[in-house]
Structure 1
């Protein structure tokens, strides 16, 4: 069940920020899945990308004044949004490469994971701030749901890195 909500100007700005974060996550997951060498990592990144597309769809629904129920299948309309989000995001893998004086440096799977883990920490923190700024408890619940999924993305990357000896907590 979808309910309607009237957003304040500040809430709209916060959602626009979250929309931008989600677009960047989609771009990174798509680019990095293409660059990853390990098939297991590719699967993790593609799975996380699909959820990020669902998050973007949810944010767009909120921006249009609709609060989706988190009990229903959140991804039901993400298919229609994914093509438009991909059009607005460059699919170029150049963002994970940098040119040095000796040519092109290709990021390793560890580099990709480290960047994505930092990104998920940042995005989750932004959701935490936004949750406190919304007056409507249903919207806060939706944002909290997305934040928990962002934390799961970070956890999946962390567990992958730990299992491959890329991340050793001290």
Structure 2
């Protein structure tokens, strides 16, 4: 049975949809501009996830509650933890004070981390404005993935000496 969205819910969804579209554009553009092959892969992967988010938002706008694959986020998180562990090792090898990173890559990844922080916060606020529990769960699922994107970007920056933790 299709869900009925309030005008306020529709406005939130339109905002989220435009944010996802911007993320798709930025990640795709930055994947072409990044020098580091690992960063290119991260950007390409995240562009694909953002496209999935965009499609999920479209489903909700169309009155459908998306069926969320509950196993996927856990598998994704495990993969990111493994990748982060690998990056931790790189950090030790390269040293915390490494400043031999590409400035353009720093600008790109820093911009995307800032974008992910903003988008995650937008989802946090939006989730509380929806009446339908299934929609709230779908938006929560997307927000969790946005946080995982941010974590992966942070770990990349930290492992390449771009984010100094004091």
Please point out which of 115, 125, 146 is paired with 1:129: 125
Structure 2 residue 21 is the aligned partner of structure 1 residue 20:
no
Q: Post-superposition shift, 1:169?
A: 1.8
1:109 maps to what in 2? 105
Match of 1:143 among 139, 146, 150: 139
The normalised TM-score by structure 1 is 0.77
Q: Which has the higher strand share?
A: 1
1:67 and 1:73 map into 2 onto residues whose CA distance is 18
CA distance in 1, matches of 2:6, 2:36: 45
Distance 2:156 2:58 in 1: 31
Normalized against structure 2, the TM-score is what?
0.79
Give per-residue Cα distances to partners, 1:14-36, cap 9 Å, x unaligned: 00000000000000000100000
C-alpha root-mean-square deviation of aligned residues, in Å? 1.8
Counting matched residue pairs gives 137
- Aligned 1:40-79 pairs, distance under 5 A: 40-71=38-69
SS of the counterpart of 1:133?
coil
Q: Which has the higher contact order (CA 8 A, sep 6+)?
A: 2
Q: Which runs of 5+ in 2 are unaligned?
A: 73-102
Over 4 Å off, 4+ runs: none
Q: CA deviation at 1:11?
A: 0.1
Q: In the alignment, does 2:150 pair up with 1:154?
A: yes
Choose between structure 1 and 2: higher helix proportion. 2
CA–CA distance in structure 1, aligned partners of residues 70 and 147 of structure 2: 21
Matched residues in 2 for 1:49 and 1:154: separation?
13
Aligned equivalent of 1:33: 31
CA shift for structure 1 position 71: 2.5
Aligned equivalents of 2:116, 2:162: Cα separation in 1: 17
